[in-house]
Copies of this chain bind each other. A is one copy, B any other.
Amino acid sequence: MLVNVSRTPLSPTPRTLVNRHRERGQTDRAALDDVLDSALICHLGVLYDGQPVVLPTGYGRDGDTLYIHGSSGAKSLRPGPVCVTVTIVDGIVYARSVFHHSMNYRSAVVLGTTRLVDDPDEKMHALAVVTEHLAPGSWDHARLPTRKELAATNVLALDLTEASVKIRNAPPSDDDEDVEANTAWAGVLPLTMEWGVPESASTLPVPEHVLKR
């Protein structure tokens, strides 16, 4: 069982205090787990010679640890200060004014310093966590990593101790005068991710864990 439930509160540090739209800030640690478990990819922010660089990558969560992985040759997979951000857009908020246009979304921002996972057992476990996040069922279905493949892969761990979560899930918030004027439509256009029909590259039947996703 890879999914744990955390019961710690989400206590912001000055670096993760929600300043803009404080009403969207979440204080329940479960909100962080929910957002991390619901999104598919993260955006990893690292520092190259004083320049912030943001790269999309897969990840997985196990309890209070977030794992990311990639080629052992990748510069972005070296341990150091990072920001991992996960965002799910749930809809576009059309307001009566351009100014109040917005999005309904769930986002998590995790700050910290990554640790290189070099213990073989933890590394294998972390790869299971990342694989099961990206492609649930694949860890038991596909061929597991060889020693050579493990050597070609870096895994980084990030503690989920310093994080903020923002959620907007509401109709447009227009000014009273614009509501009264009633000259422009307002509402939310929901947005969802939909799985399509599997495109098979195999003579085998499509397995349940793919079909039922």
Tell me the bound Cα distance from A109 to B47 in angstroms.
14
Q: Which of the 9-residue segments A3-11, A60-68, A115-123, A177-185 touches chain B?
A: A177-185
Interface residues of A, CB < 8 Å — how many? 91
Q: A187-B202, A204-B182 are in contact. Are A50 and B81 (CB under 8 A)?
A: yes
CB 8 Å contact bits of A6-40 with B (1 = contact, 0 = none): 00000000010001100000000000000000001
- Please give, as numbers and ranges, the residues of chain B lying within 8 Å of A55 by CB-CB distance: 85, 109
A199 touches B178 (CB 8 A): no
Say yes or no for A149: interface residue by CB 8 A criterion: yes
Q: A52-B45, A101-B131, A109-B53 are in contact. Are A193 and B191 (CB under 8 A)?
A: yes
A193 to B: closest C-beta gap in Å: 6
Tell me the bound Cα distance from A53 to B74 in angstroms.
20
Tell me the bound Cα distance from A131 to B186 in angstroms.
15
B143 touches A96 (CB 8 A): yes
Tell me the bound Cα distance from A153 to B172 in angstroms.
18
- Please give, as numbers and ranges, the residues of chain B lying within 8 Å of A184 by CB-CB distance: 141-143, 202, 204
- Please give, as numbers and ranges, the residues of chain B lying within 8 Å of A194 by CB-CB distance: 191-194
A79 to B: closest C-beta gap in Å: 14
B178 touches A203 (CB 8 A): no
Residues on A lying within 8 angstroms of B by beta carbon are: 15, 19-20, 40-41, 43-48, 50-56, 58, 70-71, 73-75, 81-85, 87, 89, 91-92, 94-99, 101, 103, 105, 107, 109, 111, 127, 131, 134-135, 138-139, 141-146, 149, 153, 171-172, 178, 181-207, 210, 213
